[in-house]
Amino acid sequence: MIFDVITIFPGFFSSILEHGLLKRALAAGHAQICLHDLRDYADDRHRTVDDRPFGGGPGMVFKPEPLFRAVEALKTASVEGSFPIVLLSPQGRLLKQAVAEGFARQARIILICGRYEGVDERVAENLATDELSIGDYVLSGGELAAAVVMEAVTRLLPGVLGNEESPEQDSFTSSSTTPEGSTALGRQGRHGLLDFPQYTRPTDFRGWRVPEVLLSGNHKAIRQWRHRQALVRTWRKRPEVLLDLPLSSDDRQVLQESQGSTCQPLKA
């Protein structure tokens, strides 16, 4: 998978490319990240990529020409056919796990990082195929957002995570990334629920004990406990997430039982 990042700060990405998952995925050839300096596509001596907004107001806006030139050059040079051209923007659709799963099926993605007051609207309307936001807050540039997208997508690429750390039990993971045989709720693939609580040694830390069932060696009981925990904590922490999930009658029963005293949702 190739990520083409168009940015005025290519140096911004050096730390994430030199650590952890992205470093490993790049070294193993699962992903390739190509950084493109937007200023290389300017057409003046000063390598200008921004200008004042028409209609007045503070700040600067990215001009359309360098962005169109950059994307068109990449499209011409690529062999992948059509692929997403993503403009990072707080106004875009929200990045969710399902969106990352969709991108992970692509061969190539272009990520356009804005700065300043944003990007000339003609880029969103006529160049980008997607506008993508990483959350309802405003950053000063698209670089952090692009890094988030690349990390979320790369860890889903086949072979990037070893079996031991496979993503199928992660929070929000949809059925499409769970392995065959784990399609029903109640087995390991949990179809978009939050992850169950995890514990490691010591079994007793300052009097707080690890739940006994996890020490029991009874794998069936552990699976059931984890599934129930995932259900109940999704209901408590993110009740809206449950609305989109296909719950079995057993699941509904678990939720009903848990609603008595301790498991009110934390927010409406």
**CA-based nearest residue to 88, from 131, 25, 29, 45:** 131
In the set 170, 239, 250, 265, the catalytic residue is 170
State whether residue 5 is helix, strand or coil.
Answer: strand
Q: Binding residue for ligand SAH (CB under 6 A) from 64, 102, 141, 186?
A: 141
Catalytic residue flag (residue 170): yes
Residue nearest to ligand SAH according to CB distances in the complex: 114
In the set 50, 101, 130, 155, the catalytic residue is 155
Closest to ligand SAH by CB, 39 or 187:
39
Task: Please give the size of the binding site for ligand SAH, defined by CB under 6 A.
Answer: 20
Q: Binding residue for ligand SAH (CB under 6 A) from 133, 166, 171, 188?
A: 133
Closest to ligand SAH by CB, 134 or 161:
134
The two structure tokens encoding residue 55: 């209609």
Residues of span 81-100 touching ligand SAH by CB under 6 A? 88-91
Closest to ligand SAH by CB, 147 or 185:
147
CB count in 10 Å sphere of residue 115:
21
Q: Decide if residue 138 touches ligand SAH (CB under 6 A).
A: yes
Q: Binding residue for ligand SAH (CB under 6 A) from 109, 145, 156, 185?
A: 145
**Nearest approach, Cβ of residue 118 and ligand SAH (Å):** 4
Catalytic residue flag (residue 155): yes
End-to-end CA distance of the chain: 40
Closest to ligand SAH by CB, 147 or 161:
147
38 and 6 Cβ atoms separated by less than 8 Å: yes
**Nearest approach, Cβ of residue 19 and ligand SAH (Å):** 22
Closest to ligand SAH by CB, 6 or 255:
6
**Nearest approach, Cβ of residue 62 and ligand SAH (Å):** 7
- H-helix or E-strand spanning residue 221: helix 219-237
SS3 content of the chain, % helix, strand, coil (to 5): 40, 15, 45
- Between CA 113 and CA 106 the distance in angstroms is 19
Strand blocks (E) in 204-249: 204-205, 208-209
- Between CA 3 and CA 146 the distance in angstroms is 10
What Å distances lie between residue 173 and 81, 101, 199, CA to CA?
28, 9, 21
- H-helix or E-strand spanning residue 108: strand 108-112
Binding footprint of ligand SAH on the chain (CB under 6 A): 88-91, 113-115, 117-119, 133-135, 137-142, 145
**Catalytic residue list:** 90, 117, 155, 170
